[in-house]
Amino acid sequence: MTSPSREGLTEAVDQIEGVYRSEGKKFLIAFGSALRTRKLYPLENEQVQKSFDELAATARTLHQVDPTLEMQISEEFVYINKTRLRLGLEQYSALGHVMETFKNAGAGIIAVDEAVSREEWQELMSVLVEVKPHEDPHDYLEELLDALERLGVTHISLARAAESDQELDAEERAREVARRTYRQGVAVTQDVVNSVRMGRTANVRRMKRAVQGVVDQVLNNELSLVGLTAIRDYDEYTFTHSVNVCIFSVALGKRLRLGKRQLYDLGIAALLHDVGKSRVPIEMITKSGALTDEEWHVMQSHPWFGVLAMFQIHKEGDVPYRGIVAAYEHHMKVDVTGYPRPVRRRTPSLFSKIVAVADGFDAATTRRSYQNPIQPDDVLREMYTNRRRGFDPVIVKELVNLVGMYPVGTCVILDTREVAIVQGRLPEHDSLNRPVVRIVIDAEGKVVTPHPSADLNEKTPAGRFRRSIVRVADPAVFGIKPGDVLM
Amino acid sequence: MDVTQETVQATPGHDMKAVEGLLREFVKALRAVQLYLPNNPMYENACKQLAKAFHNVWDQTDRIELLVKDSELLWEEVGVYKQESKNDGLAWLLYKDGIRGITFLPGVEETESVAFLNILNQVRTLPPESADDLLTLLWEQEFEFIRHEATELADADGDEFTKEEIDAPDSETVTAEVQRQMAEQPESNDFTTIEDSGASLLALNEEELAYLQREITREYEQDLRTNVLAILLDIFETQRNSSVRIEIAGILEKFMVHLVATGDFGAVLYLLREVATVTTRAQELTWEEKQGLENLSTKLSEPEIFAQVATGLDRNVADVREEEIEKLFSGLKPAVFEPALLALTQMQNEDTKTLLEDALIKMAIAHKDALIGALKSGDPAVLQMAVRFVKTLSTEGSVPHLRRLLRDGDDATRLEVIGALEKFATSEALDAAVVALDDKLRDVRITAARMIGQARHAPALGIIESKIGDDGPLKDADLSEKKAFFEAYGRLAGDSGITRLTPLLHTKGLLKKKVDPQVRACAAMALGEIGTPTAVETLKKVDDDKDPVVRNAVHRALEDSSK
């Protein structure tokens, strides 16, 4: 049930953002080039003139989309008309120089309107190349603006980055770091699985770095990273699942007061817990529909497949023993009635039990095409109350404390009639039913983009909670994919 | 590494020279750490100078933030360190692993600066395929006074996730749906105590907290390697697939080598014990699968591997029980005999030494060829130990080798050999010992003479006779040697020797040559060995000899001959 106009608008927005990204990069490079060449050579130099031609051309392209071109530069990010550019190595050399200049000038934003002339670009660069570090960037910016005015530059303006934008920056920065950490984890898991399939050793260093990154992120800004566990990439389920289990396990370990090094050990074990699936035929992994008995028997072998796989992909001195134990034990259940059944007497280790809980939660909250959706709160309830599931009750209790009554990714209806997706629980709050949410649909039933965060612990001046959860809802009813919202 | 200075303007208010000086000392200290051990005065001095340089900087500023480029370091946008060669130097060492900024804080000079230097030195020697680099090692350190920034390019790792647009119904439909759901009875969550004010955290009670603490302790006290071995053996037993079992056997072999190299003999012994169990318990083992398991013992018998085992057990840091060591040694293969002998000569721990010796004796009895083979070793220590074993076991077929060693062996070996031949006392051994009568070692000669005399080995008479006399080859020998040869002569020659001995004993008369009293005494002892009435008469003629040495010898000889 989608309105054609909404669909068309969304597609148009995507196209525009695409233009900003591709042309924005060109504009940034051209801007950096013009600045650099102007610094080195006189105005009449051929290279300088060429760089101004390029700069004016890229600006004109962007002006076709919007008459005002706005470039915002923060410490790490560049936005063109509020669209963040994705930058690679080749853009960083341009970016560094431009960033330094803007920082020294005390400016965060440059706005250019479509009537800008070539001469104005030239005057702007002449002013910018003289910019040096100043004791008071605030006053300095004022001086620069006066200079531009005197030179007749009226279609280009500089401004400080707004405070709220700086906050947005900080939040966006945190999310970007989280996304990067997550992506690294997925890439590493992919590398490990492919190494097993191809019979070669894996890049252990990359794995170490990825897990260290997860630990750092969980210790410093858990919310952003835990939020990403709602990503459900069904084509690459094994990889995202392994990363999710790693994140949940480390976050649980943090609640259990494990030290940094112990969290790392746990993270490695969690990341590799399902590596045995690399020895299961791919058709069985990706099968949509229930497995036959024979297929299930093969799938149940993945714990010990994982043990062998870990010896295959590591050199002798690097074998992750805890990873092997967790891979072997994570389906055993606390009373060892699960699988595989050991011959020698065994009590599952703490790390295995943590990984089991994280694995159980993430697997159960992932919707498969042949399964009916299970809401995260239902999953938690089942894990906590049904002891036959074999999870360690103390660790499940801490999982509830970690994710709250409404775990990350849960779709909720608020008493304000808004529809939101739970991002996570802030550790500093004691309440389990007041998480941080991202508002997706407002009280009028309209999609809100970007999806603003709302902390349900927030109160009005009168002391009442601004928002409260009324009930859990099925996100599919509203056309929402929780992972995409939290990405 | 050369350090040159960028020509730049100093930032007002700071002393760039202090920072440059610090980096010069840093580079020197890095070199010192690379070349010397911590107890070397050069190392200590370099670290002291570095600490001093840090103090100089702390007089000017309370942090040093350096921007890292590939061949230089910048402080407040001023170059304070530059290396000439791009791929060598402090800047490159930091840059290549992704460090783009590094900050030092006051306090770093206490301990962290030296720890940092050691990490940099470690990173230098890491192989390309190492599991670590500078970033992973720094992460593990948790420095308090050193911070770093590493490069984090947006597209560095992994693909961006693609988002799909929200496919929501129109706003009227949404609003209606929200109202409908809000009107329904809300669900309850029965695993929390819910009030409208918000459910609070599920607090862990004392028992649960104690349980968690126990679990954490258990996690970190467990013997991980033994645990992993148990897992592998479980899989071996429960999976009947031959390729799986063979794969596991291969893993166990490599793992065992690693355990030996790291000195974890407790785990090695656990493995061997469990393998013995598995071999009997596992169902339907094929020959190949069994062989795979037996390869473990064979592997332990490889010289290099065994040498590590022996060294480790000699130190016995793992405190392995004696019966386990005995079991390990009893599983050794004959191929390890020589290396084991060598290990035996080097062992300090008497208990372990005894256990190994016992095991090797058993091996030598069961595999004589292994011991005989050791008699051909080029290592003198091994030879001597092998000869001792031969002596203990009286190993058949060893005499020809002992004879060869009497000829070609070093002093210590020849001494061992003559001792072994003495114990053998067969005619073959006695024949071999004749060579030793001319050995350059006194003790060898004496032993040879005694054993030949004891055995009355007649073939040696000629040689022995040639040695006795006042000015014969024994002229410069001590009394013990003289005695040994003379006594041997007496036993071998019998009555026919009296003619030769009498002139040596009776020296009266003007024309009689004066004979050394020791020789006269030895002649008396020889006559005592002969013991016939003629010999006794010859002795009685000088029983009142003026020389007390001679007189005592005569009296003793007369006593011995009367027994």
Q: Residue B160: pLDDT above 80? A: no
Q: Do A359 and A245 touch, CB atoms closer than 8 A?
A: yes
* Closest chain B C-alpha to A183 CA, distance in angstroms: 5
* Closest chain B C-alpha to A481 CA, distance in angstroms: 7
| Dihedral class, residue B75 (left if φ above 0, else alpha if ψ from -120 to 50, else beta) | beta
How far apart are the C-alpha atoms of A132 and A111, rounded to whole Å? Answer: 21
How far apart are the C-alpha atoms of A238 and A302, rounded to whole Å? Answer: 12
SS3 content of chain A, % helix, strand, coil (to 5): 55, 10, 35
* Closest chain B C-alpha to A323 CA, distance in angstroms: 10
Among A74-88, A198-212, B66-80, B112-126, the range of highest mean pLDDT: B112-126
Q: Pull the structure tokens for residue B233.
A: 């053996």
* First CA to last CA distance, chain A: 25
The verdict on B210 touching A (C-beta cutoff 8 Å) is no
Q: Which chain A residues are closer than 8 Å to B224 by Cβ?
A: 321-322, 325
Q: Do A41 and A122 touch, CB atoms closer than 8 A?
A: no
Nearest CA in chain B to A208: B136
SS3 content of chain B, % helix, strand, coil (to 5): 65, 5, 30
* CB-CB under 8 Å, B199 with A307: no
Q: Residue B8: pLDDT above 50? A: no
* Closest chain B C-alpha to A153 CA, distance in angstroms: 31
B460-563: CATH topology: Leucine-rich Repeat Variant (1.25.10)
Side chain identity at B371, as an amino acid letter?
A: L
Q: What rounded mean pLDDT belongs to chain B? A: 86
Q: Pull the structure tokens for residue A149.
A: 């005015």
Q: Which chain B residues are closer than 8 Å to A478 by Cβ?
A: 166, 168-169, 174, 177
The verdict on B498 touching A (C-beta cutoff 8 Å) is no
Q: Pull the structure tokens for residue B203.
A: 């607090």
* CB-CB under 8 Å, B231 with A325: yes
At a CB cut-off of 8 Å and minimum separation 6, what does B366 contact?
none
Cβ-in-10-Å burial (0-12, 13-18, 19+) of B222 comes to middle
Which residue did the predictor score with more confidence, B392 or A405?
B392
The full set of domain ranges for chain A reads 12-166, 170-402, 411-486
CB atoms within 10 A of CB B203: 10
* CB-CB under 8 Å, B225 with A261: no
Q: Quote the longest CA-to-CA distance of chain B.
A: 153
CB pairs under 8 A between A and B: 234
Q: Residue B48: pLDDT above 80? A: yes
* CB-CB under 8 Å, A346 with B189: no
Closest CA to A333 of A260, A391, A290: A391
Question: Of B77, B172, B212, which has the smallest distance from its Cβ to A394's Cβ?
Answer: B212
How far apart are the C-alpha atoms of B542 and B527, rounded to whole Å? Answer: 12
At a CB cut-off of 8 Å and minimum separation 6, what does B466 contact?
B472, B473
- Sign for the CA dihedral angle at A282, A283, A289, A294 comes to negative
* Chain Cα centroid distance, residue A119: 42
* CB-CB under 8 Å, A325 with B178: no
pLDDT digits (tens, 9 = 90+) for B440-474: 999 999 999 999 999 999 999 999 999 887 777 88
> Quick one: pLDDT at residue B59?
86
- B335 DSSP 8-state letter: G
How far apart are the C-alpha atoms of A77 and A165, rounded to whole Å? Answer: 12
* CB-CB under 8 Å, B158 with A318: no
Question: Of A180, A385, A417, which has the smallest distance from its Cβ to B152's Cβ?
Answer: A180
Which residue did the predictor score with more confidence, B126 or A324?
A324
Q: Do A71 and A28 touch, CB atoms closer than 8 A?
A: yes
ipTM for the whole complex = 0.73
How far apart are the C-alpha atoms of A16 and A12, rounded to whole Å? Answer: 6
Q: Residue B154: pLDDT above 50? A: no
Q: Which chain B residues are closer than 8 Å to A325 by Cβ?
A: 224, 227-228, 231
How far apart are the C-alpha atoms of A463 and A438, rounded to whole Å? Answer: 22
Which residue did the predictor score with more confidence, A136 or B500?
B500
* CB-CB under 8 Å, A385 with B199: no
Which residue did the predictor score with more confidence, B323 or B208?
B208
pLDDT bin (cut points 50, 70, 90) of residue B198 is very low
The full set of domain ranges for chain B reads 5-183, 223-300, 460-563
The verdict on B475 touching A (C-beta cutoff 8 Å) is no
pLDDT digits (tens, 9 = 90+) for B29-41: 999 999 999 999 9
pLDDT digits (tens, 9 = 90+) for B370-387: 999 999 999 999 999 999
CB atoms within 10 A of CB B221: 7
* CB-CB under 8 Å, A14 with B189: no
pTM of the model: 0.73
* CB-CB under 8 Å, B131 with A205: yes
- B497 DSSP 8-state letter: G
Q: Which chain B residues are closer than 8 Å to A343 by Cβ?
A: 233-234, 237-238
Closest CA to B436 of B459, B410, B456, B417: B417
* Closest chain A C-alpha to B276 CA, distance in angstroms: 15
> Quick one: pLDDT at residue A325?
97
* CB-CB under 8 Å, A10 with B182: no
Q: Do A390 and A338 touch, CB atoms closer than 8 A?
A: yes
* CB-CB under 8 Å, A304 with B235: yes
Cβ under 8 Å to A: B residues 179-208: 179, 181-182, 184, 186-187, 189-192, 194, 197-202, 204, 208
pLDDT digits (tens, 9 = 90+) for B411-428: 999 999 999 999 988 889
Q: Pull the structure tokens for residue A55.
A: 């700069």
SS3 of residue A413 by DSSP: strand
- Sign for the CA dihedral angle at B466, B468, B470, B474 comes to positive
Closest CA to B226 of A361, A324, A465: A324
Q: Do B229 and B269 touch, CB atoms closer than 8 A?
A: no
Nearest CA in chain B to A378: B189
- Sign for the CA dihedral angle at B192, B195, B198, B202 comes to negative
At a CB cut-off of 8 Å and minimum separation 6, what does A179 contact?
A228, A487, B161
pLDDT digits (tens, 9 = 90+) for B293-309: 988 888 888 888 998 88
> Quick one: pLDDT at residue B192?
39
The verdict on B425 touching A (C-beta cutoff 8 Å) is no
Question: Which CATH architecture best describes the domain A170-402?
Answer: Orthogonal Bundle (1.10)
The verdict on B164 touching A (C-beta cutoff 8 Å) is yes
Tokens 């693909």 found at? B159
* CB-CB under 8 Å, A480 with B168: yes
Q: Pull the structure tokens for residue B75.
A: 């402080």
Which residue did the predictor score with more confidence, B202 or B516?
B516
How far apart are the C-alpha atoms of B96 and B93, rounded to whole Å? Answer: 6
Residue A439, beta-bridge partner list: A420
> Quick one: pLDDT at residue A414?
93
Q: Do A83 and A23 touch, CB atoms closer than 8 A?
A: no
Q: Residue B191: pLDDT above 60? A: no
The verdict on B496 touching A (C-beta cutoff 8 Å) is no
How far apart are the C-alpha atoms of A470 and B183, rounded to whole Å? Answer: 10
Nearest CA in chain A to B126: A205
Q: Pull the structure tokens for residue B419.
A: 């001792």
Assess whether the previous peptide bond of A393 is cis (omega < 30° from 0).
Answer: no
* CB-CB under 8 Å, A471 with B201: no
Q: Do A328 and A303 touch, CB atoms closer than 8 A?
A: yes
How far apart are the C-alpha atoms of A152 and A127, rounded to whole Å? Answer: 12
Which residue did the predictor score with more confidence, A294 or B201?
A294
Q: Do B113 and A189 touch, CB atoms closer than 8 A?
A: no
* Closest chain B C-alpha to A73 CA, distance in angstroms: 15
Q: Which chain B residues are closer than 8 Å to A188 by Cβ?
A: 157
Q: Do B517 and B506 touch, CB atoms closer than 8 A?
A: no
Q: What is the pLDDT along chain A (487 residues), one digit of tens a residue?
A: 444 454 555 566 667 778 888 899 899 989 988 998 888 888 899 989 999 999 999 999 999 988 889 998 876 678 888 787 876 655 655 676 788 788 888 888 999 999 999 999 999 999 998 887 777 767 788 888 889 999 999 999 998 876 555 555 676 777 788 888 888 898 889 888 888 888 887 888 889 999 999 999 999 888 778 888 887 665 577 888 999 999 999 999 998 989 999 999 999 999 999 999 988 888 888 787 788 999 999 999 999 999 999 998 887 778 899 999 999 999 999 999 999 999 999 999 999 999 999 999 998 887 654 456 577 778 888 998 999 999 999 999 999 888 888 888 888 999 999 999 998 888 777 788 889 999 999 998 888 877 888 999 998 888 899 999 988 888 888 888 887 788 7
Q: Residue B352: pLDDT above 70? A: yes
Question: Of A86, A349, A446, which has the smallest distance from its Cβ to B155's Cβ?
Answer: A86
